[in-house]
Structure 1
Amino acid sequence: MSKRALVATVALASSLFLSALTGSTPAQAQDNGASRTPPMGWSSWSSVRTSPTEAKIKAQAQAMHDSGLMSAGYQYINLDDYYIKNPGTTVDQYGRWVVDTGKFPDGMKNLGDFIHGLGEKFGMYVTPGIPKAAYDQNTPIEGTSYHARDIVSSTSTFESNYGGFGNVMYFIDYNKNPTAAQAFVNSWANLFASYGVDYIKIDGVHTSDQNDVIAWSKALNQTGRTIHLGLSNTLDINNIKTWQQYSNSWRTGGDIECYCSTLTTWSNVGPRWANLAQWGQYAGPGGWNDPDSIEVGNGDHNGLTVNERQSVITLWAITRSVMMLGSDLTNLDAGDLNMLKNAEVTNVNQTDSVVASQISNNNDLQVWATKQKNPDGSYTVALFNRSDRAGNETVTADFSDLGFSGSATVRNLWGKSNETLTNSVSRSLAPHESALFKVTPSSSSTPVGGNLTSGLSGRCADDPNSTLVNGTQLDVWDCNGGANQKITYSSSAKTLKVLGKCFDAHGGATTAGTHVEIYDCNGGTNQQWNVNSNGTITGVQSGLCLDVTGATNPNGAGLELWNCNGGANQTWTLASGVKVA
């Protein structure tokens, strides 16, 4: 995990010239053959922290193998920070970090061979930039006539580095000499490849480090090894195209560790739900969200209750997130080990068709679900009680939010039991408790949802690009039968929904011109609507009409609240299947 207290750094003042390095339009995911499913394994930072040694890492690797975790799908043993000598004073002949042989006497190749000998994969750690000692010594760049000072422009600004050495990494100026800069990163990637590395984590990645990410992606790809490239930490979502195109995973938030007497606390874990709700849409084969380590394995000593530990695994599984354990694998709790090895749960992470999204969040009672059928014909549904309120509360997932009504076989993945339910699945959950299900519609179930068509343009109410980002304004678009135009209306709850999200009057405002957007369903009156006999739809809270902006309503015209005026842009036709009980 990334560290900890932020070292003071100053970003380069110059702009990034990404196009000089890319020469192409960003893709949806890096296609380097790595991590077609989310990586699973263990990372040293949480439990070993600042004192890794060869003996400790080998012991963790052996424990992952002997405990059955490796057979359950956990593959990677990742060595985090604090394995090197001070890069402010010590580098190898080509300006790269030097392994501290006091901690790793047999070297990294030996460690990699040991890990591979167990059938596992080996990961290592680096930060952006070039060591200060490389500049001071003007070390040559391997295989070239260039030297370290050919790729550094400023010696007063520093990259983030968390190894306890202070400001020891200069920024690489990729514009000063692009060929030399790439050659330096290539040489470092080749060094890692010589160790047998299968996973590289670059820590301290900021917006100013996009060029480093691109260079490292190219460098790892030219080694001839398939190497996962993971980025850390608290990546900027505004740069997601770069992260997707040039890496295989990206940290969506800060450290999960509490840096207290336990590995973590519930308050440290809690922000992951909001982060993954925002980032979920960007994950897919070759590029995954990383909410940080799973601090499960050592019972209550990790800082979480049994219910909380199960909820963490449930969230990581249903969002198909990177599953790296942070606990001490040499001291595993039997109950935790059973949870971590539950094949039905880990299969959600590894084999579901899509990443689950947050369907509703009603006063911290949350429903998450996949909006596309899995290969076995099921939908995956998770229920969470995120509340701190005393006592159990009921959380319900409606089958209409999955796109059907009627009966279904519901498999409890934690309880390993089946039941047949109609129209919904509910559980009474204690604070911080969760439940995880596979819901398989019966042959007699009925699809729900249909077009909501504007009377003026004949276009359909539409969720732009099928986004699940809260606050996105709804619009109208040519009717195309897409799931992002399959609307449901509940006559009992008075909710209009698309892709499980509610039509919402922005911010609870009641004035003409207020955007109507998608948002997690929360029971608010600004998410309640009356469908009237005259073809209008009015907000329960505002009394205003659901209106399409403007007089012509072309594709992309937004939905809003407006004073009811009898205009055709305020009348709607509900297709068969829109209304549900």
Structure 2
Amino acid sequence: MSTLRNLLAVALTSAVAHTAVEALVSPDGVGKLPALGWNSWNEFHCDINATVFETIAQRMVDLGLKDAGYVYVNIDDCWSDKDVRRDPATNAILPNATRFPDGISGLAEKVHGLGLKLGIYSDAGTSTCAGYAGSLGYEAIDAATFAEWGVDYLKYDNCNVPANWSDEYTYNKDDGTSNAPPGYSWDTSNSAKRYHAMRDELLKQNRTIEFSMCIWGEANVQSWGNTTGHSWRMYGDINPSWSGADGGGTWGVMPILNHASFFWNATDLWGHGDWDMLEVGIGDLTYEESRSHFALWAALRSPLIIGTPLAEVSDDIVEILLNKELLAYNQDPVYGASAMPYKWGLNPDGTSNLTHPAAYWTGPSGEGIHVFMVNTEDREVTMSAVFGEIPGLKGVGNEFLVHDMWTGQDLGNFTDKVDVKLKVHDTAALRITGVDGSHPNPTWTTR
């Protein structure tokens, strides 16, 4: 526990070095803001084919997701030929010809024709997590192949790494401790080298491919991820539950938020901590829990990659995904850093708790200072945003205009604090400005 509290103190007083100069800056603004899109894994796993993606692409248009900024249609694992794997003459990776009769390039043309972009999946190991061909040792060939096919996004996983590529030192992603000597740069680790190899080859191509590193928070990735990719996974896989963990490396919304409570501060423009796909409207999540999941991921300025089945998605879930103000916060072009926790609530600040993590978060946008309060309790509660406790509001006054980001309506002017009644596991999303609507503290950031 003391280790995590020490880590929190560092996060609150300093920021991981991350500037536009040091980050992976790509042409046309690709990767400057968190990616928005959809991924096949949650709904389809390996049961995929070209029709799935053509149907989803059209569905994204019809539901208004494309117009809201969700542009990536991402193929996850299992798209290639599992038996033949690679062309014996060229070593090019081979799509499954039965599932994708027009190849990936044919699918890309159809997706592009709808004004969307196509993503694909590979792995920085010898095989993918499902046992298909990986890209380790084939980075140049695979990057060129993806570019030739018209791919716009690469999710790059971390399974099946050979023993000779193991890191020299160990890193505990849960508490940030390591047996590496003081001053060691994890940018020189074998994990980093595997991802650098694909980055370097992608940068040689004649098209920009957004690079999403699915490295699960290993190898202190937050210290080198921004020079390597546009986003980097910060923890294990998500599952569609509020506080559950299956023991196999998948986690519910609250355990992941708990981890984010200590590892939020590497995100900024051009590089984004990725807290995994959106499980909004899936599994055991209630409507209020889905609202919280979406609001908190938006606040973290994580990539928002939908895992929700779209064929029969309900209107209320679509409404969550299309919330204009939360999307605008996530996609703010000036303030790129994640929201930060400023108070835990039920537990002392700095407490690691998989059920009751930090409940009070704040961050700026071009519109004002925002506060996100999540009810982690199993009962309705009233939560208070006390202005004197909110870092961006300290010393700038005690009366403010409070706006509800869910409804798009002003709640009115408040002095000292605003109280919000929240249903079980719901989250308040507030924008706070001067009483005249002006930004109360435009120079403050969470970094």
Question: Match for residue 303 of structure 1?
Answer: 284
In the aligned structure 2, how far is the partner of 1:434 from the partner of 1:211? Answer: 40
The structure number with the bigger radius of gyration is 1
Deviations 1:152-196 (A, max 9, x none): xxxxxxx4631246xx65964xxxxxxxxxxx4222111101111
Question: Match for residue 222 of structure 2?
Answer: 240
Q: Alignment partner of 2:331: what SS?
A: helix
Q: Is the 8 A contact 2:127 2:135 kept in 1?
A: no
> 1:275 Cα shift?
2.4
Q: Is the 8 A contact 1:60 1:328 kept in 2?
A: no
In the aligned structure 1, how far is the partner of 2:34 from the partner of 2:20? Answer: 21
Question: Match for residue 32 of structure 1?
Answer: 26
Question: Match for residue 333 of structure 1?
Answer: 314
> 1:27 Cα shift?
6.1
Q: Of the two structures, which has the highest relative contact order with CA contacts closer than 8 Å and spacing of 6 or more?
A: 2
> 1:277 Cα shift?
2.3
Question: Match for residue 435 of structure 2?
Answer: 442
Q: Alignment partner of 1:41: what SS?
A: strand
- 1:314 counterpart = 2:308: no
Question: Match for residue 396 of structure 1?
Answer: 384
> 1:237 Cα shift?
6.1
In the aligned structure 1, how far is the partner of 2:322 from the partner of 2:47? Answer: 28
Deviations 1:327-382 (A, max 9, x none): 11121101111111111121111116232101111213711001xx4323x10111
In the aligned structure 2, how far is the partner of 1:433 from the partner of 1:349? Answer: 19
Structure 1 residues 63 and 264: CA distance shift in structure 2, 3 A: farther
Question: Match for residue 365 of structure 2?
Answer: 374
In the aligned structure 2, how far is the partner of 1:341 from the partner of 1:286? Answer: 23
1:91 aligns with one of 62, 81, 86: 86
Q: Is the 8 A contact 1:27 1:244 kept in 2?
A: no
> 1:325 Cα shift?
0.3
In the aligned structure 2, how far is the partner of 1:446 from the partner of 1:69? Answer: 29
In the aligned structure 2, how far is the partner of 1:345 from the partner of 1:43? Answer: 20
> 1:426 Cα shift?
2.1
Q: Across the two proteins, how many residue pairs are aligned to each other? A: 373
Aligned residues with identical type, % of pairs: 27
Q: Is the 8 A contact 2:377 2:424 kept in 1?
A: yes
Q: CA RMSD in A?
A: 2.8
Structure 1 residues 416 and 405: CA distance shift in structure 2, 3 A: same
Question: Match for residue 507 of structure 1?
Answer: none
Which amino acid in structure 2 is aligned with residue 320 of structure 1? R
Q: Is the 8 A contact 1:407 1:445 kept in 2?
A: no
Structure 1 residues 265 and 394: CA distance shift in structure 2, 3 A: closer
Question: What 5-or-longer segments of structure 1 have no aligned partner?
Answer: 1-24, 130-158, 173-183, 258-262, 449-481, 485-498, 501-581
Q: Is the 8 A contact 1:41 1:77 kept in 2?
A: yes
Structure 1 residues 444 and 111: CA distance shift in structure 2, 3 A: closer
2:338 aligns with one of 352, 355, 362: 355
Q: Is the 8 A contact 1:128 1:169 kept in 2?
A: yes
In the aligned structure 2, how far is the partner of 1:330 from the partner of 1:341? Answer: 16
Q: Is the 8 A contact 1:122 1:197 kept in 2?
A: yes
In the aligned structure 2, how far is the partner of 1:189 from the partner of 1:386? Answer: 43
- 1:118 counterpart = 2:114: yes
Deviations 1:496-549 (A, max 9, x none): xxx79xxxxxxxxxxxxxxxxxxxxxxxxxxxxxxxxxxxxxxxxxxxxxxxxx
In the aligned structure 2, how far is the partner of 1:362 from the partner of 1:41? Answer: 33
Q: Is the 8 A contact 1:408 1:445 kept in 2?
A: no
> 1:233 Cα shift?
3.5
- 1:411 counterpart = 2:403: yes
Q: Is the 8 A contact 1:29 1:284 kept in 2?
A: no
1:272 aligns with one of 252, 256, 272: 256
Q: Alignment partner of 1:302: what SS?
A: coil
Structure 1 residues 85 and 265: CA distance shift in structure 2, 3 A: farther
In the aligned structure 1, how far is the partner of 2:96 from the partner of 2:386? Answer: 56
In the aligned structure 1, how far is the partner of 2:298 from the partner of 2:228? Answer: 24
Structure 1 residues 171 and 421: CA distance shift in structure 2, 3 A: same
Structure 1 residues 446 and 220: CA distance shift in structure 2, 3 A: closer
In the aligned structure 2, how far is the partner of 1:81 from the partner of 1:324? Answer: 15
Alignment of 1:22-421 (within 5 A): 28-33=22-27, 34-86=30-82, 89-92=84-87, 93-129=89-125, 159=126, 161-164=128-131, 172=137, 184-204=138-158, 208-236=190-218, 238-257=220-239, 263-264=240-241, 266-267=243-244, 268-296=252-280, 299=281, 301-351=282-332, 353=335, 354-363=337-346, 364=356, 366-370=359-363, 373-376=364-367, 378-388=368-378, 391-400=379-388, 401=390, 402=392, 403=394, 404-418=396-410, 419-421=412-414
Q: Is the 8 A contact 2:261 2:340 kept in 1?
A: yes
In the aligned structure 2, how far is the partner of 1:405 from the partner of 1:398? Answer: 12
> 1:55 Cα shift?
0.7
Which amino acid in structure 2 is aligned with residue 309 of structure 1? S
In the aligned structure 1, how far is the partner of 2:438 from the partner of 2:54? Answer: 53
Deviations 1:198-222 (A, max 9, x none): 1001101675332121111111111
Deviations 1:59-93 (A, max 9, x none): 11110111111111111000000111126x53113
Alignment of 1:511-522 (within 5 A): none
In the aligned structure 1, how far is the partner of 2:222 from the partner of 2:320? Answer: 32
Q: Is the 8 A contact 1:405 1:422 kept in 2?
A: no
Q: Is the 8 A contact 1:384 1:432 kept in 2?
A: yes
In the aligned structure 2, how far is the partner of 1:275 from the partner of 1:72? Answer: 29
Q: Alignment partner of 1:50: what SS?
A: coil
Structure 1 residues 118 and 304: CA distance shift in structure 2, 3 A: same
In the aligned structure 2, how far is the partner of 1:103 from the partner of 1:417? Answer: 47
Which amino acid in structure 1 is aligned with residue 322 of structure 2? K
Which amino acid in structure 2 is aligned with residue 398 of structure 1? V
Q: Alignment partner of 2:413: what SS?
A: strand
Structure 1 residues 447 and 336: CA distance shift in structure 2, 3 A: closer
Structure 1 residues 355 and 95: CA distance shift in structure 2, 3 A: same
Structure 1 residues 102 and 410: CA distance shift in structure 2, 3 A: same
> 1:229 Cα shift?
0.4
Structure 1 residues 313 and 231: CA distance shift in structure 2, 3 A: same
Q: Alignment partner of 2:265: what SS?
A: helix
